[in-house]
Amino acid sequence: MTCGGGGTRTRVEKIALFIDAENLHLSAKALGFDLDYRKVLEKFRSRRDCLARHLLHSK
């Protein structure tokens, strides 16, 4: 994405975060980690360059 006017263009990087909760949970469990998913999402929620934040899970 580019921004700017008057002949000045600045590149702005944006990210979208999609977390596969089931695989993350199984990986963390296998490695002996205890994850707080709310804290993980909150960490990215405060970033201005993050367009979307989604925690995906199966039913």
Q: What is the pLDDT along the chain (59 residues), one digit of tens a residue?
A: 445 555 666 777 887 777 788 888 899 999 999 888 788 777 777 777 777 666 667 66
Q: In this predicted structure, what is the pLDDT of residue 16?
A: 79
Query: Long-range contact list for 26-34, CB < 8 A, 24+ apart?
Result: none
Q: In this predicted structure, what is the pLDDT of residue 2?
A: 46
Q: In this predicted structure, what is the pLDDT of residue 27?
A: 92
Cα end-to-end distance, the chain, whole Å: 35
Q: In this predicted structure, what is the pLDDT of residue 59?
A: 60
Tokens of 25: 């949970």
CA separation (Å) from 47 to 13, 20, 40, 51, 53?
12, 20, 12, 9, 10
